[in-house]
Amino acid sequence: MDAIRVRGGKALSGSVRISGAKNAALPILCATLLSDGASRLRNVPDLRDINTTAALLRFLGRNVTVNAPEVHVAAGSDVRPEAPYELVKQMRASILVLGPLVARFGRAKVSLPGGCAIGARPVDQHLKGLEAMGCTIRIERGYVIAEGPGGGGRLKGAEVYFDIPTVTGTENLMMAAALAKGRTTMLNCAREPEIEELGRILNKMGAEVDGAGTDVMHIRGADRGDLAPFDHAIIPDRIEAGTYMVAAAAVEGSDVRIDGAELSDLEALVSKMRSAGCEIESEGHGLRVRRKGPLKPVNITTAPHPGFPTDMQAQFLVLMALAKGESVITETIFENRFMHVPELQRMGASVALRGNTAVVQGVDKLYGASVMATDLRASASLVIAGMLCDAGDETEVRRVYHIDRGYERIEEKLRGIGADIERVKGAEA
């Protein structure tokens, strides 16, 4: 297994280009199931999760060519509307094939994803919405088995209220509604930019989606058996952008341009970073991040978009680990998303965990150590922490396969802006 070695003491400068958004590409790849034509996606990041989705689509009978940053998907000969546990367990976003499969083929059998390192992550809201659209749903031996009305018929438009705004739940039902008969109204939808992006795709494909990116969405399904194919370039990844912004701000004296970062998608993070003493300015299609003075403590509470993103909590906590004073970080989205804290404590961070809050007392510096990545964003926070140690003080971040799920060539990109970082192949063998 590979590891990432990082040594501190280097200010960052220059520019880093942000890749396409993983969490926009995944539902869009699944949306290709709604069409029999050949679709082309551009600006797709070169990530493990993209390859897992491609493998899943191939298993379902599609022809998929991944040649990052392009992916081509076309219908194959046989469709097998079944997503096996072996693939779903590698990436829980695989549940995103459920809505399109049952809408397009009248039935689907998809493994329940189960829990993961950050929480239980149920899918009850996805299932409740499909039932409202006329699906019969059974859970058998760990699988969701969904059938359209009358034993495999076309879904019907419905009114769906989400008890909790769910990103992939909203996306699954958007794709189901795009081929359902009549109009679907969805209330209390998640509002992430990736959902707006899926709305753009479904409109290109011939459905009528109104309100994607707001909490109320209306969707009129296309009156035909399948949707049109599309050609589309994916939006930049706001969480990758946010991660490089925090890395730049964490190392004093850095001055980094984040190419492709959109201020409008990152407002909560930008506001909190500015309160912490970071300088962030829009520059064309990018942001410039600097920090000259000391970091100030700032409290954050994660919330659905446009609130502070849970996917930036671990990285922001590292910033606060060096702030002058106490900050309180509250995680409201996932119940187990502080797995990075014990690793950061081993590097000298002073953090007390109380339920869903982390109380951070800033320290003067962190110390290099061997640490273990537990999930994607936690791994990124450990890499940033390694950059905050003294010159020559080395941190080894293990289990980097988590990072490879969601950060394209992170060590190359960080090295490109001056970090002392390398990937060590087979370090954990």
**Contact residues: ligand EPU, CB under 6 A:** 23, 26, 93, 119, 121-126, 164, 166-169, 190, 310-311, 333-334, 376-377, 406
Q: Is-contact 358 299, C-beta < 8 A? A: no
3-state secondary structure 235-292: CECHHHHHHHHHHHHHCCCCEEEEECCCHHHCHHHHHHHHHCCCEEEECCCEEEEECC
* 298 alpha carbon, distance to own chain's centre: 24
Half-sphere exposure of 80 (CA within 13 A, CB side): 10
Torsion of CA 198, 47, 249, 196, to 10 degrees: 0
Q: Compare residues 369 and 372 and give the one whose CB is closer to ligand EPU.
A: 372
User: Which single residue is written with the structure tokens 């072996």?
Assistant: 86
Q: Is-contact 70 93, C-beta < 8 A? A: no
Q: Compare residues 43 and 310 and give the one whose CB is closer to ligand EPU.
A: 310
Q: Is-contact 10 421, C-beta < 8 A? A: no
Half-sphere exposure of 106 (CA within 13 A, CB side): 7
> Looking at this protein, which amino acid is placed at residue 305?
H
Q: Compare residues 39 and 310 and give the one whose CB is closer to ligand EPU.
A: 310
* 78 alpha carbon, distance to own chain's centre: 31
Q: Compare residues 369 and 376 and give the one whose CB is closer to ligand EPU.
A: 376
Question: With the C-alpha atoms ordered 290, 194, 86, 124, is the resulting torsion angle positive or negative?
Answer: positive
Question: With the C-alpha atoms ordered 376, 378, 383, 384, is the resulting torsion angle positive or negative?
Answer: positive
The least distance separating ligand EPU from the CB of residue 198, rounded to whole angstroms, comes to 10
Q: Compare residues 164 and 187 and give the one whose CB is closer to ligand EPU.
A: 164
- Strands 39-42 and 70-75 turn out to be antiparallel
The least distance separating ligand EPU from the CB of residue 187, rounded to whole angstroms, comes to 15
Catalytic-role residue among 30, 116, 135, 389: 116
Q: Compare residues 125 and 254 and give the one whose CB is closer to ligand EPU.
A: 125
Query: Is there a catalytic annotation at residue 116?
Result: yes
The least distance separating ligand EPU from the CB of residue 359, rounded to whole angstroms, comes to 22
The least distance separating ligand EPU from the CB of residue 103, rounded to whole angstroms, comes to 18
The least distance separating ligand EPU from the CB of residue 354, rounded to whole angstroms, comes to 19
Catalytic residues: 116
